[in-house]
Amino acid sequence: MRDLLGGKGAGVAEMTKAGLPVPPGFTITTEACNAYYEAGKQFPPGMWEQALAALRIVEQQTGKTFGDRHNPLLVSVRSGAKFSMPGMMDTVLNLGLNDETVQGLVEQTGDERFAYDAYRRFIQMFSKIVLDADPREFEQKLDEYKERTGASSDAELPASALKELVAEFKQIAERQSGQPFPTDVYEQLKRAIEAVFASWNNKRAIDYRNFNKIPHNLGTAVNVQSMVFGNMGNDSGTGVAFTRNPSTGEKELYGEYLLNAQGEDVVAGIRTPSKISRLKEELPQVYEQLQEIARRLERHYRDMQDMEFTVERGRLYMLQTRSGKRSARAAVKVAVDMVEEGLISEEEAIRRSDPTQIYQLLLPRFDEEAKARAHKEGRFLARGLNASPGAAAGKAVFDADRAEELGKAGVPVVLVRPETSPDDVHGMLVSKGILTARGGATSHAAVVARGLGLPCVAGCEGIRVYEEEKLFRVVGSDVVIREGDEISIDGDTGEVFAGVIPTVEPNFEKETELQKLLSWADRIRKLGVWANADYPRDAQRAVTFGAEGIGLCRTEHMFMEQERLPIVQKMILAKTPEERQAALDQLLPFQRSDFIGIFETMVNPRTGECYPVVIRLIDPPLHEFLPNYEELLVEVTRLEATGADPEALKEKKALLDAVAAMREMNPMLGLRGCRLGLLFPEITIMQTRAILEAALEVAQKTGKKPQVKIMIPLVGHVNELREVRRQLEAVAKEVTAEAGSAVEYKFGTMIELPRAALTADQIATVADFFSFGTNDLTQTTFGFSRDDAEGKFLMKYVDGLDAPGLPEKVKILPVNPFQTIDRDGVGQLVRMAAEKGRAANPQIELGICGEHGGDPSSIEFFHEVGLDYVSCSPFRVPVARLAAAQAAL
């Protein structure tokens, strides 16, 4: 019905059919509107005659006659398209009035004041909408009369003043339009219908459709409806109401109304409207009836409604109903409540929920009023990219060590960097938020922040960060923010403010409705939902959010921590196997304790059993753990120049040589992943030992059975995996033999190179599981280096490139393939590898651990492909649970 009658027409028709009190009327279809435009702005043949026939029926239903001087029918002429475009198109009220019918209205109602109020409103609206007159002159005149008669609102204007106003308004209209004001009611109707058709193509409406991606060829319907009057005294009124509270979802009528008012008065802010709850006292019967209607409408539409109503002399009329817009919080509560009320099924609640909204629910947000105040007070500094959602406030800190120091002491800090690198992670971990001056939505800062669930504003070019001086300047102003100064960042909008804006903290455990919704999702979904977590703290959060395992625990982060890094460097720079082993022996207890923490945390809170944990062996190239080559070179040169400290020079030179020897032209494709394990087996052997010793210790201590899954990264050829696995399997046997007890362990690999996907059948013969590393797989399949692509050209590929000779920009890619899986390319590799892997090894377990694991559209694809689980950052676990259920419906 909505296609043909528009949303408003369909709503009014359905309410009428359901027996609700709706003023009689008829709808001219959107088809008629389109035909009108096609015919060069002419009513299509027969339309006007049909409208007149329908008008006759409305006359019968109301017992009034259009244009009659004793008992006139008045109508509203209302626009209404398929998609609601609030306030974009036009409506004329009180149509059918002229100097004669207004007398009839006086006779009908016995209320001269009311009749002339209706008349002057009609002239005012008709002039503005149909005659295209400037509304300001009418308003000025109205104000003039109010002043002259001492009326504080237009409801107080006496009949005599209104009569004079009518005459004045007509003059204004005639002067402005250059033609007499139409007195023929049929001409009024015809022209109002044309005006509503025309409002489909006014600039406001076109802009709105462009912005909201609504097609331009739908057309608007026109609703001609008999008038009811909210301006007939204090037992009359008009209002808008939601069947539930649109910001909290609470089941209560929510809205506003004005007594003795008509139509737009509520929205126009002429008088301050009252809260709908007051109607209970002012017009109790009407309130009760409205509540009953709200219930019936919800039962009919099985959704929360947004209603417009008018009360005429104590009688309630419904003028509009549509599905109500609501906040993320309200959306969840309404869906869950409606299931419990028996209005909708659990499946329907899942279908209706928006995974992205759920994500927002779990993040701290700024108090909106406080933020508006900050803007007013001039505390807005700059805007960057909204790289990771949520809000954060704290002291600005300019290096990671300082952030760690303060953060661990419980001081809220926001880490401000030109850009971040793995060296900053320890500081990011304890920060409330991250602000960078450079880097895009997938820069290191953005990716890590999203993984940690931290708000991040990246690429904020409106600030200059001076690391050494520990300050940033706001470009184009003399504002300076120094270490310790408070700032606030909004990761939803990219805004940066001086000072603290208070935030509102969410608490997952208290989100009982969300928990319920997700428990239904768990029942429906086929995909497992695991999390990527490197630290017990993240693992804990993952479990709280409902993760059923860890799909990726990166071990190299553990190497980066302050007290360990020197040992790691010693290990890397070792000249003899003995030296290397000695360093590794020192690292082993650290790694072991990390894993103990994770195994202990990953326990199913209901059954007490251990969840699976996939631990990835060292992956990045070793030079990432060493000082930067350029910086070292500078240092050596300086030491050489001063000649002061020959010992230090010698040491630095040796280090420089070592770093130089390890430099690679293209580290992403260099000595990393399983290649490291093949060249330096001691490292992965140590890691395997640490993992298994940790598992054994937890097993012994708790009596539980950790599920250990050791993952060997960046395999391209089956022989790589075969050899690494052979070595590690031997270690595993050794460790478990030493302990005299066994724990369950598996070996698997990441599928993150095209060759691995193409030869997945071979690889599957030596792997117990595959985990698709879709980040690297996307990089290597497209041949994009992500760090370079996103800043340089990828965004343009998505947004569109200037195309010489073409009027519009040309889009190369529909979406960023690092956010949403490229189904046609990368996705095909995933599908093929999954099929080949399963065929060669039916027991094989298949998961995905790239960032795509938290993206709803990608999750749908992984469901289709038939993977066993997706693994994503802990904060996206609820999103993934819901998205996986939606995929299964």
Binding site residues, ligand ADP, CB under 6 A: 23, 76, 78, 87, 91, 93, 225, 227-228, 238, 263-264, 308, 310, 319-320
Residues designated catalytic: 444, 849
Residue with tokens 């030179």: 653
- The pair phi, psi for residue 404, each rounded to 5°, is -65, -45
Residue 773 is assigned to a ligand binding site: yes
The 178-207 contact track toward Mg ion, x by CB under 5 A, reads ------------------------------
394 binds Mg ion (CB under 5 A): no
Q: Helical H runs in 706-825? A: 718-739, 754-758, 760-764, 774-782, 786-789, 795-799
Residue 91, contacted partner among Mg ion, ligand ADP, none, CB below 5-8 A by kind:
ligand ADP
Question: Is 616 part of any known ligand binding site?
Answer: yes
776 touches, from Mg ion, ligand ADP, none (C-beta below 5 to 8 Å by class): Mg ion
Residue from 734, 825, 711 nearest 777 by CA: 825
CA distance 488 to 503: 10
Measured between alpha carbons, how far is 348 from 338 in angstroms, rounded to an integer?
Answer: 10
Rg (CA), the chain: 35
Q: Is 670 exposed, middle or buried (0-12, 13-18, 19+ CB in 10 A)?
A: middle
Least CB distance to ligand ADP at residue 227 (A): 4
What's the min distance (Å) between Cβ of 224 and ligand ADP?
A: 9
CB of residue 310 to ligand ADP, shortest distance in Å: 5
CA distance 264 to 12: 18
* Number of residues this chain uses to bind Mg ion (CB under 5 A): 5
Say if residue 827 carries a ligand binding annotation. Answer: no
The item of Mg ion, ligand ADP, none sharing an interface with residue 404, based on CB under 5 to 8 Å by kind, is none
**Could you tell which of Mg ion, ligand ADP, none binds residue 78, using a CB distance below 5 to 8 A set by kind?**
ligand ADP
Largest Cα–Cα distance of the chain, in whole Å? 112
3-state secondary structure of 306: strand
Nearer to ligand ADP, 51 or 474 (CB): 51
Name which of 62 and 388 has its Cβ closer to ligand ADP.
Answer: 62
As a whole number of angstroms, the distance between CA 573 and CA 662 comes to 10
CB of 111 to ligand ADP, least distance (A): 16
What is the DSSP annotation of 826-882?
Answer: HHHHHHHHHHHHHHH-TT-EEEE-SGGGG-HHHHHHHHHHT-SEEEE-GGGHHHHHH
Q: Can you tell me the distance from the alpha carbon of 841 to that of 113, in angstroms, rounded to the nearest whole number?
A: 87
774 among annotated binding-site residues:
yes
In the region spanning residues 284 to 343, those forming contacts with Mg ion, defined by CB under 5 A, are: 308, 320
Partner in contact with 774, chosen from Mg ion, ligand ADP, none, beta carbon below 5 to 8 Å by kind: none
Q: Which is nearer to ligand ADP, 225 or 289 (CB)?
A: 225
* Residue 776 binding Mg ion, by CB under 5 A: yes
How many angstroms separate the Cα of 133 from the Cα of each of 130, 195, 808? 8, 13, 36
Q: Which of 736, 727, 749 is nearest to 705 (CA)?
A: 736
Kindly state the smallest distance separating residue 299's Cβ from ligand ADP, in Å. 23
Q: Annotation-wise, does 638 bind a ligand?
A: no
Nearest in space to 319 (alpha carbons), one of 387, 393, 237? 237
227 binds, among ligand ADP, Mg ion, none (CB under 5 to 8 A by kind): ligand ADP
Closest-CB residue for Mg ion? 776
Q: Which is nearer to Mg ion, 219 or 773 (CB)?
A: 773
Q: 229 near 116, Cβ under 8 Å? A: no
Number of helices (H), then strands (E), in the chain:
37, 32
Residue 23 interacting partner from Mg ion, ligand ADP, none (CB closer than 5 to 8 Å by kind): ligand ADP
Q: Quick check: 851 binds Mg ion (CB under 5 A)? A: no
Least distance to ligand ADP, CB of residue 307, Å:
9
Token reading at 589: 């207890």
| Residue 78 vs 786, nearer CB to ligand ADP | 78
Report the residue number, 89 or 385, with the smaller CB distance to Mg ion: 89
Q: Is 773 in the site for Mg ion (CB under 5 A)?
A: yes
In whole angstroms, how close is the CB of 238 to ligand ADP at the nearest point?
5
Nearer to Mg ion, 94 or 320 (CB): 320
Question: Applying CB under 5 A, does 749 fall inside the site for Mg ion?
Answer: no
Paired sense of beta strands 65-66 and 72-73, if any: parallel
Instruction: Could you list the residues known to form a binding site for Mg(2+), using ranges.
Output: 752, 776
Instruction: Could you list the residues known to form a binding site, using ranges.
Output: 554, 616, 752, 773-776
Q: Note the residues at the interface with Mg ion (CB under 5 A).
A: 308, 320, 752, 773, 776
Instruction: Could you list the residues known to form a binding site for substrate, using ranges.
Output: 554, 616, 752, 773-776
